[in-house]
Structure 1
Amino acid sequence: MTQQTPAFPTPEWLLRDQLIEAPEAAVLEWLFHEDSLTRRLTRLSRDGFSVTPLSEGWQRLRIDECVALQLPEGSEGWVREVYLLGRGEKWVFARSVAGRAALENDGLHMDELGTRSLGELLFSDRAFARGPLQICQYPAQWLPDADTAHGLWGRRSCFSHGTLSILVAEVFLPTVWRAVDQATDSQ
């Protein structure tokens, strides 16, 4: 796992009203769309949505994740990385993290999700409240090797229930924008 160093600085996660240079309108609309991304990708893919797990387990959380979850720097948490696919094509890289103590005390079993969408679980459980969406150009070195690219837009938000907070980051790969363009052209 890559930690922040001067060569790999932490990105500045911004709220919508903090943006100085914003992405194009269509991208901005997807980044700040409040509904479930899983549901939106399912519609876009005409029910061809799936989840491919990449890795999950206990890890030391990144500095920006500790700050967002209000945990001490260097805290350990559960990290789940997956691809969200549309019609078999990787559209979004997602990374979800939760602090160890809060997750162990809550009883949510993130380790049992498999190919199920965490986002769908969070949106279907009314006990979870979603915090504000933040965006950034996601650091290339934080992406899986197969999809390392500079300038990809990502978003994140924190879902909270009692003492448990789950930080969900979603990075939009170029393939999803092609699918969005094709869907827009066919309307």
Structure 2
Amino acid sequence: MNNIQNEKQRCGWCLSSELYKNYHDQEWGTPVYDDATLFEFLLLETFQAGLSWITILNKRENFRTAFDQFDYKKIAQYNDDKILDLLQDAGIIRNKLKVYSAVTNAQNFIKIQEEFGSFSKYIWELTDGKPLMNNPKTLKDVPATTPLSDKISKDLKKRGFKFVGSTVMYAFMQATGIVNDHVENCWKKS
């Protein structure tokens, strides 16, 4: 058997690189209940707004280093000097509004934890703690937004979060397994 026959069937969006395939196989669509990991994806998805996800994945480790291992408690305390350092860091997306939003979002993330006990509880109670299982046959069947992503976006914006439009929130839901959008023939479809 050659490699083509041994290749797993995957969602078509991830076929352009090994990094993408590994992300798809190991993370995308896998339910995340840990607040630290949820914040990591929230931060990365907000920086992804208007860009491709592969751009963010390629810079993920740079983001990890620049943003103190995605420690939202530290990020919530960033001062202007730290923000200026981040804006000079060529390893991340140096968008001033997005860098400032990372700090604001970390502060608001902590407020949600205080209100609900955890961000995980806040986000997962919207689906009764279980992933929403979509059944897209092809990538064309995967929506960019849903009524639930609209609802989450609206609520987070009301709470002061930035760069959390409905499309960003739907991508966040997919990344963290709140919704399962693996296509019908993908090996990860459960």
TM-score (norm 2): 0.26
Pair member with larger Rg: 2
TM (norm. structure 1) is 0.26
Structure richer in strand, relative to its length: 1
| Higher share of residues assigned helix | 2
Q: RCO greater where, 1 or 2, for CA within 8 Å and sep 6 or more?
A: 2
